[in-house]
Structure 1
Amino acid sequence: MKDPFMDKTLDRIDRKLLRLLQQDGRTSNADLARQANLSPATCYRRTQRLFEDGFIRSVRAQVAPEAVDLATLAIVGVVLDRSTPDSFAAFETAARAMPAILDCYLVAGDFDFFVKIRVRDIHDFSRLHASELIALPCVLQTRTFFVMKEVVDNRPLAI
């Protein structure tokens, strides 16, 4: 399979635009152009190309979890009952459909997947675990780690 980024290169200006947009995705094109020392038209074309070429997936707000009553963060290690392409696919499809799962990673090691879940509190997690999480396809075992403190969360990429 061909790497989609193989023929696409980033110059120093593209990298600067990416850094600036990671800091504040709401920056207007005029302000972005000024900060990158570009004309607004050139800045707009470059930014559009970064979207079209897949370097920028989306721009969205980072909501404060506590403000929307989702302050409890849990990382759950999941072991499947078998390691087959079908069991992995079934779990991945179900995980994508479960709104409480923020992130899901296929990993190497003692677990098959790690999922990141935000809930109101431990009681909310307990309900979710009993009714939805262990009911996901092929789940044999889970191990939950409650986050005590978020030291680094969603840091911008070092470009």
Structure 2
Amino acid sequence: MLDDTDRRILRHLLADPQADNAALADRAGVTTATLWRRLDRLRDRGILRATEARIDWRALGYAVEVSLRFTLDKTEPRAFDRFTAAARQLPEVIEIQTFLGSVDIRLSVIARDMGDWQRIYRDRILGLPHVTDIEPLMLVATIKDTAELTL
């Protein structure tokens, strides 16, 4: 699937996603033209999906992050679709994940402070459809946040 050159390119890209192509090619030991071809092939194969910006929400004034685990009403056939459609409309929801097991969906929600969080929870979260249980988990610290694996 991946050869050593692809792995080397991906390792260097993960280590420094802001590196320009010339620097990335140099670090990976390939020409710039080879790097372009390899990156295009990795994108075409769906291995490299995007180069994305990562925003530090705390630096923008969002001091509170809460992970909410939801269990939905399993007797309602459209519960999942209606819930996710409503959750997508909330600007404070920065991530939606689905699971198998006792928890159906997890939302990551940001707020400026505890007063803002209480307003969001009361006015928006509690109004989401088909919820049978909510478990909020307040983020205290992020110990590890990486997409890197040994390639």
TM-score computed with the length of structure 2 as normaliser: 0.88
1:105-116 map, 5 Å? 105-116=97-108
| Corresponding residue SS for 2:78 | helix
Say whether residues 1:48 and 2:48 are aligned partners: no
1:19 aligns with 2:11: yes
State whether structure 2 residue 138 is matched by structure 1 residue 125: no
Q: Which runs of 5+ in 2 are unaligned?
A: none
**Could you tell me which residue of structure 2 aligns to residue 156 of structure 1?**
147
Q: What's the offset of the Cα at 1:143?
A: 1.5
| Identical-pair percentage | 29
Counterparts of 2:147 and 2:81, CA distance in 1 = 30
Answer whether contact 1:106 1:114 (CA < 8 A) is retained.
yes
Which runs of 4 or more aligned residues in structure 1 lie more than 6 Å from their structure 2 counterparts after TM superposition? none
CA–CA separation in structure 1 for the residues paired with 2:65 and 2:115 = 12
Contact kept? 1:23, 1:156, Cα under 8 Å: no
Distance in 1 (CA, whole Å) between partners of 2:102 and 2:147 is 29
1:41 and 1:31 map into 2 onto residues whose CA distance is 12
1:54-108, Cα deviation, whole Å (9 max, x unpaired): 2122212222222100121111111212255521122222223322222222123
Which whole-Å deviations, capped at 9, do the CAs of 1:17-58 have from their partners, x for residues lacking one? 222222222211111111111011011111122122221222
Q: Which sections of structure 1, spanning at least 5 residues, go unmatched?
A: 1-8
Confirm or deny that 1:104 pairs with 2:96. yes
Amino acid across the alignment from 1:156:
A
After superposition, the CA RMSD in angstroms is 1.7
TM-score normalised per structure 1: 0.84
Secondary structure in 1 matching 2:129: coil
CA distance in structure 2 between the aligned counterparts of 1:95 and 1:21, rounded to whole angstroms? 33
Aligned partner of 1:68 in structure 2 is: 60
Q: Deviations over 1:90-134 (max 9, x none)?
A: 222222332222222212333211111121122211111111112
| Equivalent position SS for 1:51 | helix
Which of these residues, 133, 140, 147, is aligned with residue 141 of structure 1? 133
CA contact (8 A) 1:101 1:118 kept: yes
Cα distance between partner residues in 2 of 1:29 and 1:143: 44
Q: How many residues align?
A: 150
